[in-house]
């Protein structure tokens, strides 16, 4: 496994890029952006499963929250379902990167499904923290968005002990059974700033609140937010490539606006950009959520270049080299078939160019 290099949260006054000459147009391109190690692992899991077992391979929920990736995998034979009971008895199903509750595992066992668990290891870490706190009879205040798949999976580890806390306002009103036995955990894809604001309210109300043993916000989410913070004050417009159901992508837009970007928008594809957004814009910031293939970003850069934004400058917040092993079940079957099991990095060429209309 590789290592992750991250830098501290930096206010925009600390880092800036030279302003463009009057009338010049440029793009500030965030790094890192796009695929994180957990998404890489999940997408490769589906690709390898299709190669090894052949289609169809069922996937519970979207493997990652990006509709382009999902549509591409559907074309290859992946069948995405909302609930476990939609999978035929005895068939093979992959659990998404967001994780599932023990109840879902039990449903799969009852249907005699062959399961492959592609839960991101960083989400699995939060699940284990929930199990440990619940075993010690703590009430867990889970900072996150109700209904998000990751939150449902984590809360499902200890449903009787878990209360989901949405935001600072919710934190100010939440009722708990025992203020002396409380711990907090968080959804991994939240805004770092907003999470800590929520925790600050909880801590003011409940001084004995226990912290998680390590940071729950995933390294990739933090790094992408730090890059946006560094760029935002220099951007007239921030374009974040990502899907509307991607929590970490939506947070990037919010962070950009909070840290000084005049305008910001979330788009799946370049052709969703409104040319009216470019009125009076000299500097465009571009980044992407952690489940976005790089070709979608390249399409945005091409679109901007066609409109005079050919000068692209990188803004690097961190270097990432973390890789996760494929799920145990898949590695076992790959090894038995004599197939390669060490290649974990997704092949960017495996996702077609975004302008392929057949994917839309």
The set of catalytic residues is 150
Degrees, nearest 5: CA angle 105-218-295: 95
Degrees, nearest 5: CA angle 282-278-261: 65
**CB-count exposure of residue 273 (10 Å: 0-12, 13-18, 19+):** buried
Q: What is d(CA 4, CA 122) in angstroms, rounded to the nearest whole number?
A: 13
Degrees, nearest 5: CA angle 15-20-24: 150
Neighbouring CB atoms inside 10 A of 245's CB total 14
Neighbouring CB atoms inside 10 A of 109's CB total 11
DSSP-derived pairing of the beta strands 139-143 and 162-165: parallel
Containing 242, the helix (H) or strand (E) segment is none
Q: What is d(CA 28, CA 284) in angstroms, rounded to the nearest whole number?
A: 6
Paired with 78 in beta bridges are 57
DSSP-derived pairing of the beta strands 26-31 and 283-288: parallel
Q: What is d(CA 24, CA 171) in angstroms, rounded to the nearest whole number?
A: 46
């Amino acid at each position: 496994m590789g290592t992750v290099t991250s830098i501290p949260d930096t206010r925009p006054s600390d880092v800036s890029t030279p302003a463009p000459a009057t009338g010049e147009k440029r793009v500030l391109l965030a790094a890192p952006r796009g695929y994180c190690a957990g998404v890489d692992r999940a997408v490769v899991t589906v690709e390898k499963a299709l190669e090894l077992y052949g289609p169809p391979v069922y996937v519970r929920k979207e493997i990652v929250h990006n509709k382009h990736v999902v549509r591409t995998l559907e074309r290859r034979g992946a069948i995405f379902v909302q609930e476990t009971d939609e999978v035929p008895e005895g068939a093979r199903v992959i659990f998404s990167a967001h994780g599932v509750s023990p109840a879902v595992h039990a449903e799969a066992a009852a249907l005699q499904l062959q399961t492959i668990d592609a839960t991101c290891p960083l989400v699995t870490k939060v699940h284990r923290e929930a199990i440990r706190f619940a075993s010690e009879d703590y009430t867990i205040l889970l900072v996150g968005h109700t209904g998000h798949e990751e939150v449902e999976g984590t809360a499902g580890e200890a449903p009787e002990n878990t209360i989901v806390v949405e935001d600072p306002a919710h934190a100010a009103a939440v009722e708990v059974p025992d203020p002396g036995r409380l711990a907090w955990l968080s959804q991994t894809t939240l805004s770092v700033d907003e999470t800590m604001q929520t925790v600050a309210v909880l801590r003011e109300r409940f001084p004995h609140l226990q912290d998680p043993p390590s940071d729950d916000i995933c390294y990739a989410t933090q790094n992408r937010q730090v890059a946006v913070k560094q760029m935002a004050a220099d951007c007239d417009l921030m374009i974040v490539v990502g899907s509307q159901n991607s929590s970490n992508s939506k947070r990037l837009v919010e962070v950009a606006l909070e840290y000084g970007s005049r305008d910001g928008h979330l788009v799946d594809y370049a052709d969703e950009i409104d040319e009216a957004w470019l009125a009076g814009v000299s500097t465009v910031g571009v980044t992407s959520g952690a489940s976005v293939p790089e070709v979608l970003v390249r399409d945005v850069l091409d679109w901007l270049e066609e409109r005079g934004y050919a000068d692209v400058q990188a803004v690097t917040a961190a270097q990432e080299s973390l890789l996760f092993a494929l799920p145990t079940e898949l590695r076992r079957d790959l090894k038995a078939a004599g197939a390669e099991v060490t290649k974990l990095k997704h092949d960017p060429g495996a996702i077609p160019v975004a302008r392929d209309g057949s994917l839309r």
